[in-house]
A and B are shown apart, each in its own frame.
Chain A
Amino acid sequence: MRYIFVTLLCTFFTIQSPLGFAAIFDWQNNRLDQLEKITVGPWDNFESSISVGENSSADMLYFTQDKNQVSSIFQQNIMSGEQRRVAAFNGDAKQPVLNSNGRLLAVTAFDSDAQGDICVLTINTDSVECISSNEAIDKFPFWIDGQKLGYLRRKLGEFESELVFYDFKSRQTTVIARGYISAPAANGRYIIYNLSQKSGAKRVLYDVKAKSFGSLANIDLPGSSGFYRFSKNNQWVYFSQYLNDSNRDQKIDANDNSVIFRLKFQDWLNASSPIFAEQLSSVDLNCNFPVPAHNKLYLTCAFGGSLDVYRLPLSGMVPDSWKQADIDLAHKSARQYEERLLLLNSLRYRYEIKSVEIFERIISNHLHINELTAASFYIQGLFNQKSLSMHSAKEFLDFYRVLDRLVALKRKKEQLPSSVLTARFIFDAEKVITSIRSLTISPQLLNLAEAYINVELQRSSVVIKQLDQLNFEQLAPMQKNIAFSLYRKVLNKTEQQRLLPLYISMANAENLPAEANIYYAFSYLAFIGESRFDLKQRLAQLDQFLLNSTQESVKNLIDVEKLTLSLIDAKDDKTKNIIYKKIAKQLKKNKKSLLLSKAMHVRAIQLCAEFEEFRYMEFFSRHWLTVTNIRQQEFYNAAQQYSIIVKDKAYGYMAEDQMPKAFSVFYSLIRQTNDLEGHFQYISIGLDSKNKKKARLEKAYKSLTKQKLLGNAAVYADAIKIIINNSDDVKVLDNVIAKLELLSRDIVGASMRDLLLGYIYHKKLRLTRNGYSFDKSAYKKAHYHYMMALDLGRENSRVTAAVWENLGWLHQEVGQYALSADFFTRRLTFEFTNLDQELRLRWSVAKSHFYNDQSSLALREIEQAIESINSVLKSEGNNKDELNRLIPYYEKAAFYAMQVLEFKKSIAYYQRIFSKKEKNGLQNKAKMVLAYAYALKKDHQFDLAKEQFLQVIQLCEKLSELPADNQRLISFQPKRLILLASGFLAELSVQTKEQISHRKTRIEILKGMQGKVKKFSYDEAARLAFLSKDYQLIALAYEKSGDLLFMKLSMDDAMIQAKHWTDTTGDILGPVVYRTLINYLSLAVQYPSQFPDKSNKDVEMLTMKMIDAFEKYPYPTGNIVAQQAKLQILRLKQQNKLKAMSAILQKESVQGIKQVLPKKYEQLASMVQFFIQ
């Protein structure tokens, strides 16, 4: 029955979709302009400058990229996103600024001066000229005109800066001004900058032509301004405004959140009093460094994880075309206080609204988001309004005077650590109370003010008493709002029920605006929803509410709530449908009030979600969409909520494997919103042969095309069909890329476009990869599009999760393991749709952690995977196949446990694998036995370890080499395993004969590697070092067994390999040759008869060379001096020059190490003493 109903509805919407309106009205873009992302993280990209090409495909963005504290200048083609480092600057560089024709790029460079130099790159020739000296800190370059560059210079040891001009024609530098100067900018004729003085900051205007200084009017905004930039036509000055102390460091400066504003330059020149500016970005976006280009405003914003360059229309986020009524409507549809502030400021600027009321509204919004500095500023601004006399009722003025003091006090509280009260703050609070008492204000207001201060002083019981004494009826609207919020703060959980009558009172208060009544009624409904009332109790509460209700709109809202609860409570579909019709009627009746309509629909939807009435939840959602006027900005919000609910429904069907139903719902989503996500899922389900929907899919797209409902989404739909059918042909991929890249991002679900492009480039990377070499361009583009998808889909968890995983894979495949682990870890913060997905993610992140030297994290992930498998096995019963599934995870757990030195755990995991007696392949067995043996050895189980190492050798004798490929980046060489096992066996052998035998096996393998070391993943130096070492260890074994002749011969062999090592590496002081020489000479002085002087010419030659190299060492450390002395002493002993040995100890340099390396000195001294005796 339900299914038929849904199908009927879908059919209905197929016939009459509101999307038809989209063809005549672009509702998708009938909202605030959104920031368009230009650069992508994960590194910080900021401080941009634009070079405009002959056509838009040649527009270049120059910006600073900060990667691991290293700043570099980057260039990016704005259209293609292709990016490269500007290699002309060798060291760190930042603050790139292009001149007006885009041919010269000035930067602050740190290549030859760590303090910063001003350097200029000629773009065409790639030549760099630095124009400032090394004796000062030079920064903030800015172009005055095509030939003159300005910058700030601060001489070392001085505090004040100089504003300097550099003329490229005359090569002359001129100091224009001196002082605490910041934020200089120029437009050819004028320079403006900030000058900080004891009396406060001011803006200075310098007339380049007249060479005269003047002051500019203050800007009528809270906080401080910076980073001025002139528009291309010089009509506007764009700047950053730090409105609030957002980082709570007790000062408003460039470290706080910033907002972009602009003002007309001529108006500023003419202004004699503070001038108001137009707000262009929202407070919550934290944007800075505005750079107006010809058509767009480029800016750096800090949200979404990294600093990045974005762009907006020159007129900012509020569309230039919007009339006052549009802004009003957008304000009513706003979902954030920050958005409201932006719109109110636009109204103020564009329509010169200076009423007291608008100030009050701005103050209200700032207080709602706790922006106290701004609130204080506007309270002061309100007092300065000429129109204030209209409102100059004493009560009105008294309230804002009191509020001003309360906000100032709260600002002080904000600077204290949470829950900490200092004596100073208590003193300040008492002072404020005294000051308020000195005003002749009403007892009500005084009581409220004292309650407010007592909340800050954490005196809850006093606050409740004071609030209870208030007569709510007599309080002004904002006072009521404050009183209620104080109650909410101090009533603890057990007393929360006391809020119920207060909510009812606020929702019905006659002297509150109707929208406040609705807000409180809505909050009341949410409150009782959270208060553990069951459905019946809730209905009783609502009846109680209605008894006390006088407001028609509020009664209607409560009625809808009651009806919705009755619908949920109804036992059969028929009753539910009857109730639904009643609700729909009520909703329709109230559709003209945006706020009431929204509140009613939201409550109905939320209740249905809470009680899992998903069918009706979708009905209410669809109803909201259909009763909202498509020409109002609210329609976008209604479409958003509809999209969320319909997608949840469709994905719910997918999770239950009800693909036909999911298919229908996604089709409904396409028809209603043309969302690319709907297209993706609809096509994916339709093309999956097991769903048998191919014919339906084709028919649907024909119909959508015929009705012209697809628009640009057709490009995406075609692309996804091709990719699903054939994604292994690079030519096909290139064709799809070419089409998709032309698809504008101005479309619902645009993140899907970039996710698909990232995927295609990623696929290309995989298809064209050859061992370690890969297509770097495909890698960069895949990363770029994934990051764009992340930005565009940042509020879509499904897209975000897909992108995080893809990024994890992408960076793992190119060896960027730290980044890969980071991306995979982000993905792990979301849920898993099935066990296989969880295992895949944990396995992959563990691999990246391991390669990033974080084996403990790798072990944690694998053990979590094992736990998840075990819990499934527990619930489903242990069958053999499932148990075998554990083996790779046991192996990884054993291996990672070994890496973090948890040998017992490692042994236990290996033993579990071996106990399964599963055939995992000889090669895997050999590897596992080697690791197991190693763990046993480290756990001091020597006999068992020896047994296992011998088994490794036996297994390896049956194995052949396996070449490297894209998965196995290092070839498998059984001989390498034998080499290792023999080394360990030599260590574990007690008998010298056995030790020598194992070492000889190693030497044989190492000798066999000559000329083909790469095949064995070695290099020649390593091979020679191992050989030298093995020979020396054999020599020691011979010494132990008394075979002194063989000992000498082995040391000679070791010396030959050490000499080869020196010849190969060119390193005369390297550890291999040094240690071999020391060992050789040590044995020589111990057994002089075996080592007659000058019997080994290599030793003679290398010793002399090494001593000479030590002598010439530029800055010898204590260790170098000690090494040299040791070598000289041994050499002199061999030559029997005893006096000279003592003289070595007396050398100034050797005496010098007495203090810094006393133990080393003692060793040398005792050695000399021993030899002399």
Chain B
Amino acid sequence: MKKLHFIYLLMLTSLFAACASLPDVYVIDRHTVMEAEASGEWPELENRFFADGLHRGPVAFKKEKSRKRTNSAFTVLDTEYTAKQLNDDRQSTFLLDDENKPSVEMVNAQ
């Protein structure tokens, strides 16, 4: 509301200050004035948008769009290059104990 009042004042200020002699023709062309008066109202549409637009959960996109997320899951990094004996490195890529492995495996499901 205050904004509207302010605009009226602003309008008058610019209007009057612009006059150099007798008053000029009176023009209203401030968009906020026109907005209040001349913008259509579509309550049915707006109420529906208002209610539907608020999400309590995620938007149901068919595919995950975040490249960072998918990249992070599926990235294979380049190696750290050293001059150390290569045989050691070859061993170290093969890991580790088999302890605590999950008992459920897809192959068993078939």
Contacts and interface: CB of A to CB of B under 8 A. Distances in A.
B81 to A, nearest CB: 4
A16 interface: yes
Contacts of B34: 898-899, 931, 934
A1029 B26 contact: yes
A841 B49 CA distance: 8
A858 B76 CA distance: 44
A1036 B100 contact: no
A458 B9 CA distance: 63
- The SS class assigned to the A binding surface is helix
B86 A626 contact: no
A605 B105 contact: no
A796 B63 CA distance: 10
Interface string B69-85: 11111111111111110
A809 B98 contact: no
Interface in B51-110: 52-66, 68-84, 86, 89-90, 93-96, 98-107, 109-110
Lowest 7 A-B CB distances belong to which pairs?
A798-B58, A797-B65, A931-B38, A795-B69, A478-B81, A802-B55, A1071-B16
A361 B65 CA distance: 33
Contacts of B12: 1022, 1025-1026, 1029, 1071-1072
Interface string A706-726: 000000000000001001100
Contacts of B95: 329, 332, 592-594, 632
Given A623-B107, A655-B62, 9 more contacts: A21-B102, A340-B77, A626-B106, A644-B69, A652-B62, A809-B54, A831-B65, A891-B40, A1029-B15
B46 A967 contact: yes
Interface in A772-813: 772, 794-803, 805-806, 808-809
Interface of B: 1, 4-5, 8-9, 12-13, 15-17, 19-23, 25-29, 31, 33-43, 45-47, 49-50, 52-66, 68-84, 86, 89-90, 93-96, 98-107, 109-110
A895 B58 contact: no
- The SS class assigned to the B binding surface is loop
Nearest to B70: A644
A556 interface: no
Interface string A834-853: 00110011011000001000
Contacts of B59: 798, 801-802, 805, 830, 833, 837
Given A967-B43, A970-B1, A595 B104 contact: no
Contact of B82 (A9, A361, A655, A727): A361
16 contacts: A340-B80, A515-B79, A595-B93, A605-B74, A629-B96, A648-B63, A798-B60, A803-B55, A855-B31, A898-B34, A898-B38, A976-B36, A977-B37, A987-B27, A1019-B5, A1022-B5
Interface stretch (A199-207, A314-322, A978-986): A978-986
Nearest to A588: B107
Nearest to A15: B104
Nearest to B106: A623
Nearest to A885: B45
A850 B32 CA distance: 10
Interface residues of A, number: 166
B26 A1022 contact: no
Contacts of B93: 332, 513-515, 518, 553, 593-596
Q: Which of B45, B60, B90 counts the most A-chain CB atoms under 10 A from its CB?
A: B60
B75 A581 contact: no
B20 to A, nearest CB: 7
A1032 to B, nearest CB: 5
Contact of B54 (A577, A806, A927): A806
A664 to B, nearest CB: 15
Contacts of A920: 40
A17 B62 contact: no
A545 interface: no
A28 interface: no
Interface in A576-630: 577, 580-581, 584-585, 588, 592-596, 598-599, 602, 605-606, 619, 622-623, 625-630
A840 B98 contact: no
